[in-house]
Amino acid sequence: MLMQQSSWMRVDFIYFDAGGGHRAAANALRQVIEQQKRPFEIRMVNLQEVLDAMDVFRKLTGLRLQDIYNLMLKKGWTLGSPQLMVGMHWVIRLFHSRTVHLLEAFWREHRPEMVVSLVPNLDRALCESLARALPGVPFVTILTDIADYPPHFWIEKQVQHFICGSAKAVEQARGMGHAEDKVHRVSGMILNPRFYVIAPLSGEVVAVNQKAVDEPETVNEDPYGEGWLVRIRVADAGESDSLLDAAAYRAHLAEL
């Protein structure tokens, strides 16, 4: 007999619309939970909307932070990302207290029983505000990258749980002093529940790139070279006719 929905745990999924990956991961996980009839009542929370009242980037440029990031991706302006990250972290530190204040008010009004973050950079404020507003409510970060990009990106020194999709991310979390029972290793990152139902091509995996396993940052640095993942002996070469190449996929993203 299924549990009544009124007794299901209320869980907030925190995401941004920056880049689309955070929202895609949150939506995919929510769909899997619903398909498996897990006893969780999931609420999708766009962090940008919660913090709109203090978005300093919008005040300066007229654009939301997530819109600035999406514009950079669309234009291909990614070479300066490390420098931009330093500036963004400075702004986040400057407005940390106000961010915590806004989030505290949000938690007290909506009263989740667990908060799951799928966004980087703001987990310190998310965790601190939750602990103040609702002591004892667990805070979880799901890394939607293969590894952390320290400092202050995914992994912070605070009491919380981490869901890590690689051995590298687990190593980074434990290296920050997090207890073994707070760091949870999974097989990878969930982006679309269909990935676990059917593969795009039928065939046999004949090779796995161990370098990508041991050094996951290679996937970001050289995805079309050293960052390859697997080699497949395809059973039916004709199946590839329905797939998109890199140029077609970029065109598809531009239309979204």
Q: What is the CATH number of the domain that holds 55?
A: 3.40.50.11930
Tens-digit pLDDT profile for residues 104-130? 999 999 999 999 999 998 999 999 999
Structure-model confidence comparison of residues 212 and 174, the more confident one? 174
Q: Cα(121)–Cα(48) distance, rounded to whole angstroms?
A: 13
Which of 136, 153, 185 finishes a domain? 185
Nearest to 155 by CA among 167, 138, 172: 172
Percent of the chain with pLDDT over 70: 86
Q: Cα(133)–Cα(101) distance, rounded to whole angstroms?
A: 10
Q: What phi and psi values does residue 232 have, to the nearest 5 degrees?
A: -120, 130
Tens-digit pLDDT profile for residues 244-253? 887 887 787 6
Mean pLDDT of the 223-233 span: 86
Residue 107 lies in a domain: yes
The residue type found at 223 is: P
Per mean pLDDT, which of 94-98, 113-117, 211-215 is the most reliable?
Answer: 113-117
Residue 242 lies in a domain: yes
Q: Tokens 């090779």 sit at which residue?
A: 207
Is there a single domain that holds both residue 232 and residue 117? no
Residue 164, classified by CB atoms within 10 Å of its CB into exposed (0-12), middle (13-18) or buried (19+), is buried
Tens-digit pLDDT profile for residues 153-172? 999 999 999 999 888 999 99
Residue 222 lies in a domain: yes
Residue 194 lies in a domain: no
Is there a single domain that holds both residue 163 and residue 65? yes
**8-state DSSP, 95:** T
Is there a single domain that holds both residue 237 and residue 138? no
Is there a single domain that holds both residue 51 and residue 91? yes
Local structure of 105: helix, strand or coil = helix
Domain count, the chain: 2
Is there a single domain that holds both residue 207 and residue 181? no
Residue 191 lies in a domain: no
Average predicted confidence (pLDDT) for the chain: 85
Which of 151, 185, 219 finishes a domain? 185
What range does the domain containing 248 cover? 201-255
pLDDT value for 171 = 95
Is there a single domain that holds both residue 85 and residue 170? yes
pLDDT value for 202 = 83
Is there a single domain that holds both residue 37 and residue 107? yes
